[in-house]
Amino acid sequence: MESKTVSHTPRFIAFALLVLVLVFLLTGCVSGFDRRRHEASSVVQFLYPGKDQPYIQPQIPTLRLPLRVGVAFVPAGAAPERASAAPSRISEAQKAGLLRGIAQQFKELPFVQSIEIVPATYLRPGGGFANLDQLRALMGIDVVALVAYDQAQNTGDTAWSLAYWTIVGAYVVPGQKNDTSTLLETVVYDLSSRSLLFRAPGTNTTDGHSTPIRTSEQLRADSAASLAAAAKDMTANLAQELELFKVRVKEEPQNYRVEHKPGYTGGGALDGSFAALLALFAAAALLRSRR
């Protein structure tokens, strides 16, 4: 009998190639999304876009009550950078919702006459105070609240990512660690004096895990959630800063001048403490007369 010897070499090579292709494909899948993402808009870049920009000396703000306030999102970056940047994860609807929340807080102040939400198209990247002066002329606002944000997202492999080699693992094992850090800031400027009245920050850090297949989707969700949490934090800080601002205006007349616009409404009002003092006085006088 003649024994046939079959060579296994070609099969082995074919199998090795197949594994290699799968590894490459899998690696491609795994690393096919952004591992780092950074998106920001800056008040400083917006107000002082060029290095040769002359320093603007702020004056003592004169607040002419009641105030008309504008609320706006600072446009991100300078124009050429923005064109090449990836599309923003923060939608216009999210920004509008945030501005409405800030506007609501200002509405509750007794010395604020009106709040205008400034449309995104009214501010140019790097527009500076010249752009704000245009807004002042166009919308008749006295004070502007500029909202800026900075969001960074990182994603990395954990030890569980070894499971991706099984292909099925890439679909079911959440081996990606995602971090999202968000900083929101509202900066309030008096337009005529170009001076900073106050600022209120809000921060949030969100951590999570996802499968590599769902990482992009998860990062988008984390971005929205982190923005909402930072907005909540900023809202609380803003309320606190507004209260402090009211106190500062009263207690630091050297730093804030206050005038009233003609046609204001006057109120004849006696406060509770004065009424109580009078009541005490009356009671004491009555007691004395009965003796």
Partner 1 sequence: MKSVRPVLLAAAPALLGLVPAVREVLLYDRTAILQGEWWRLWTGHWMHFTASHLTWNLLVLAGAGWWLERVQPGSLLRYLAVAAPMLGVSFLAGAPGMGTYGGLSGLATGVVVLLALAQLGRDRAARAWWLGLLALVALKLALDAAQPAPLFASFGAQVVRVSTFAHVMGAITAVGFFLSRRLGWRDELRRPAAAHAQ
Residues that bind partner 1 (CB under 8 A): 65-66, 109-113, 246, 249-250, 253, 256, 258, 260-272, 274-275, 277-279, 281-282, 284-285, 288-289
142, with CB counted inside 10 A (0-12, 13-18, 19+), is: buried
Nearer to partner 1, 38 or 100 (CB): 100
CB of residue 114 to partner 1, shortest distance in Å: 10
The token duo for 114 is 């009106």
CB of residue 283 to partner 1, shortest distance in Å: 10
CB of residue 29 to partner 1, shortest distance in Å: 58
Q: Residue 144 in contact with residue 95, Cβ under 8 Å?
A: no
Nearer to partner 1, 141 or 173 (CB): 141
Give yes or no for a cis peptide into 66 (omega within 30° of 0): yes
Give the span between the Cα atoms of 71 and 74, in whole angstroms: 10
- The amino acid occupying position 260 is H
Nearer to partner 1, 5 or 273 (CB): 273
Nearer to partner 1, 35 or 250 (CB): 250
Nearer to partner 1, 87 or 272 (CB): 272
Cα–Cα separations (whole angstroms), residue 141 to 66, 170, 201, 208 = 11, 54, 23, 42
CB of residue 272 to partner 1, shortest distance in Å: 6
Nearer to partner 1, 15 or 274 (CB): 274
CB of residue 59 to partner 1, shortest distance in Å: 17
Q: Residue 106 in contact with residue 115, Cβ under 8 Å?
A: yes
192, with CB counted inside 10 A (0-12, 13-18, 19+), is: middle
Tell me the Ramachandran region of residue 187: left when phi exceeds 0, alpha when psi lies from -120 to 50, beta otherwise.
beta
CB of residue 31 to partner 1, shortest distance in Å: 57
